Amino acid sequence: MSTKIVGIVGMGPAGLMAGTILLEQGIEVHFFDHKKAAGRKFLVAGHGGFNLTHSESIELFQKKYNHSFIKKAFLQFNNEDWRNWLQSKLGIETFVGSSGKIFPLKGIKPIEVLSNWLEKIISLGGKFNYSHKLIDFSENEAVFSHNGNDIDFSFDYLVLALGGASWKKTGSTGEWKELLDSKNIECTNFVSSNSGFEIEDWHKMADMEGQTLKNTDTSFGLISRKGDVVISSYGLEGTPVYFVNKEFRNSPSDYLYIDLKPTKSQEEIIEILLKSKNTTEGLKNLNLSKTAIQLLKKWTTKEDYSDVKILSSIIKKMSFKPISLRPIDEVISTIGGISMESITEDFKLKNYPTIYCCGEMLDWDAPTGGYLIQGCVSSGFAVGKAISKQE
Ligand SMILES: Cc1cc2nc3c(=O)[nH]c(=O)nc-3n(C[C@H](O)[C@H](O)[C@H](O)COP(=O)(O)OP(=O)(O)OC[C@H]3O[C@@H](n4cnc5c(N)ncnc54)[C@H](O)[C@@H]3O)c2cc1C
């Protein structure tokens, strides 16, 4: 049994993974969270798709991360390792969906995944401290606010896994940034990621809210992504839209384009439209969905709609002017937080060598669809291993 004492602050997937790895090495681990329960955002993710990871090859997978430290952590604990871990340690079987995303087996609820994980931690001797908000720390002591009292906790190593700044009600408030700023730990401002776009002049589309444009090709700048785009009251949502967020952040005055018929060239579309009795029949002959046809009618002028050449070019490249990303609190993830310059390759704070950080509180980015949770558990795993190796 090691004599090290480790505190894990933040009980999302990153902190839970770091703590589990440490407990497995016989290290004494105390978990803290300012909420009354663990893994609130993990459960929110469960209400949506609950993509635990993706089945993509390791080579392609690591390209989804924009920072070498997260890529390296992923190589240390990859998507296959995470699946095997879920199965062998928590008894959670997973399956690969048609899109390649990995989910818990049908019938397994997100709360079951979380409960099994917490039970595993208890069986290894982990101690939980809820309603404990981190308010200060030094190299060997953390201070928590608990029911109006300040509680001191002495540690050999501390892991910060405090999450990003979206969905504040889950506990991921981002308020910790102020504390870290005061300790001269460089942090960048939070920015929405995996976010929908608010689109200029969208008011006329509001009655189409909730409808889906299936199998589009969405592009912005030099990048594009196939998939379904969802129409909302303010603009556009959906995986392809989230994917192009980064290009928007680089060039906010550019346009977003949607190809409504990626399987046909403009020439083929013109041919089908010309052979049809009228535009309405032509669009049906093209097998465009009702939603796509309705959008075309509403978004184009009467003149453009009845001009085959112009209409075909709009079908191939319908343009939208994004005004902004959605407010931070509504989005799936945030970038910003602890600057990667502030940590070493094994996620140790450069100016606090007894303190490690992992998960979404670090300034890295990845698309949704399993890559976020994977990045969190991979960095948590790397931190657990790094601290285990310390004297
Ligand atoms: C709607 C939605 C859907 C999502 N779907 C998916 C998906 O399908 N696949 C995917 O990969 N990702 C998904 N995500 C993203 C994923 O849930 C997060 O990236 C992940 O939960 C982040 O893990 P984390 O451990 O870094 O932080 P979090 O899970 O945010 O946990 C941080 C913890 O720190 C605690 N905390 C914060 N400040 C303090 C403090 N001062 N003191 C004590 N405790 C504190 C919080 O209470 C919280 O429990 C989704 C997110 C949302 C919002």
Give residue-wise pLDDT tens across range 244-258: 999 999 999 999 999
With a 6 Å cutoff on the Cβ, whether 373 touches ligand 1 is yes
Provide long-range contacts, Cβ within 8 A and 24+ apart, for 146-154: 153/7, 153/30, 153/32, 154/5
Which pLDDT score is estimated for 98?
Answer: 87
Atom of ligand 1 nearest to the CA of 369: 9
Calculate what percentage of the chain has a pLDDT beyond 90: 95
Which pLDDT score is estimated for 46?
Answer: 82
| Token output for 367 | 């698309």
Which pLDDT score is estimated for 99?
Answer: 87
Atom of ligand 1 nearest to the CA of 38: 49
Which pLDDT score is estimated for 2?
Answer: 67
**How far is ligand 1, taken at its centre, from the CA of residue 164, in Å?**
7
Ordered by start, the domain boundaries in the chain are: 5-192+330-389, 197-325
Three-class SS state of 229: strand
Atom of ligand 1 nearest to the CA of 370: 11
Atom of ligand 1 nearest to the CA of 135: 41
Nearest to 225 by CA among 205, 211, 245: 245
DSSP secondary structure of 77-142: S-HHHHHHHHHHHH---EEE-TTSEEEEPTT--HHHHHHHHHHHHHHTT-EEE-S-EEEEE-SSEE
With a 6 Å cutoff on the Cβ, whether 161 touches ligand 1 is yes
For ligand 1, mutation pick of 65, 172, 193 (most atoms within 8 Å of CB): 172
For the beta sheet containing 133-137, the strands, ordered from the edge strand earlier in sequence to the opposite edge, are 133-137, 141-146, 149-154
Which pLDDT score is estimated for 391?
Answer: 76
Q: Which residues contact 267 (CB under 8 A, 6 or more apart)?
A: none
Q: Which residues contact 145 (CB under 8 A, 6 or more apart)?
A: 34, 132, 133, 135, 151
Instruction: Give CA–CA dist 117/129, Å, rounded.
Output: 16
Which pLDDT score is estimated for 279?
Answer: 92
With a 6 Å cutoff on the Cβ, whether 163 touches ligand 1 is yes
With a 6 Å cutoff on the Cβ, whether 291 touches ligand 1 is no
Atom of ligand 1 nearest to the CA of 331: 53
With a 6 Å cutoff on the Cβ, whether 352 touches ligand 1 is no
**How far is ligand 1, taken at its centre, from the CA of residue 386, in Å?**
22
> Can you give the pTM of this predicted structure?
0.94
With a 6 Å cutoff on the Cβ, whether 64 touches ligand 1 is no
**Superfamily of domain 5-192+330-389 in the CATH hierarchy:** FAD/NAD(P)-binding domain (3.50.50.60)
- Continuous segment of H or E residues that includes residue 230: strand 223-231
With a 6 Å cutoff on the Cβ, whether 194 touches ligand 1 is no
The protein residue whose alpha carbon is closest to atom 38 in ligand 1 is 162
With a 6 Å cutoff on the Cβ, whether 174 touches ligand 1 is no
Which pLDDT score is estimated for 16?
Answer: 98
**How far is ligand 1, taken at its centre, from the CA of residue 181, in Å?**
21
| Residue stretches of the chain with pLDDT short of 70 | 1-2
Please check whether residue 118 is in contact with residue 38, taking contact to mean a CB–CB distance below 8 angstroms: yes
Which pLDDT score is estimated for 1?
Answer: 57
With a 6 Å cutoff on the Cβ, whether 240 touches ligand 1 is no
With a 6 Å cutoff on the Cβ, whether 337 touches ligand 1 is no
**How far is ligand 1, taken at its centre, from the CA of residue 389, in Å?**
27
pLDDT digits over 167-179, tens only?
999 999 999 999 9
The protein residue whose alpha carbon is closest to atom 37 in ligand 1 is 162
